[in-house]
Amino acid sequence: MKTVITYGTFDLFHVGHVRLLKRLRKLGDRLVIGLSTDAFNELKGKSVVFPYEHRKEILLATQYVDAVFPEQNWEQKRDDIVRERADIFAMGDDWSGKFDDLEELCQVVYLPRTPETSTTEIKQIFVKLKEERLHEVRNVAEHLNRLIEELL
């Protein structure tokens, strides 16, 4: 049995995540994921929408993921690879070259990301929508204030 291991936050689960998991699973028979905890994401300067337990439940509900364990720090990868008996360590190609030192333990693979689909971009869209909505509310409030002043 060939085991593939990867790591990530997997917040705001989207089609890019599904496609990545599908490609990862095709590399082996078993896919295990080190899921960044809320505390670790905070240390990395990342904010998450969904807490760890929800993100874990979503991943385990897919047909591609066999197991999820907490990623709590950068240094744990070597121990995880040994514990999980991983044959392949795979990450998105935005990490290309960063984990080449793990090649003494297993094969290291960097996969291309799904173009035009990222959690960061989705979060940016939500921020923009929130700003637009606030602008609309302010305009309505200003209009109502003018009407009230005219009536007085």
CATH code of 8's domain: 3.40.50.620
Whether 46 is catalytic: yes
Residue 78 and residue 149 in one domain: no
Residue 57 and residue 131 in one domain: no
Residue 104 and residue 142 in one domain: no
What tens digit of pLDDT does each residue of 107-133 get? 999 998 776 666 666 666 666 766 777
Per-residue pLDDT averaged across 72-87, rounded? Answer: 97
Pick the residue with more confidence: 2 or 92? Answer: 2
Residue 43 and residue 66 in one domain: yes
State pTM to two decimals: 0.77
Domain count within the chain = 2
Which is the catalytic residue, given 2, 22, 44, 128? 44
Residues with Cβ < 8 Å from 132, sequence gap 6 or more?
none
Range of the domain at 135: 118-152
Asked whether 5 and 84 are in contact (CB, 8 A), the reply is yes
Residue 148 and residue 108 in one domain: no
Residue 124 and residue 106 in one domain: no
Whether 98 is catalytic: no
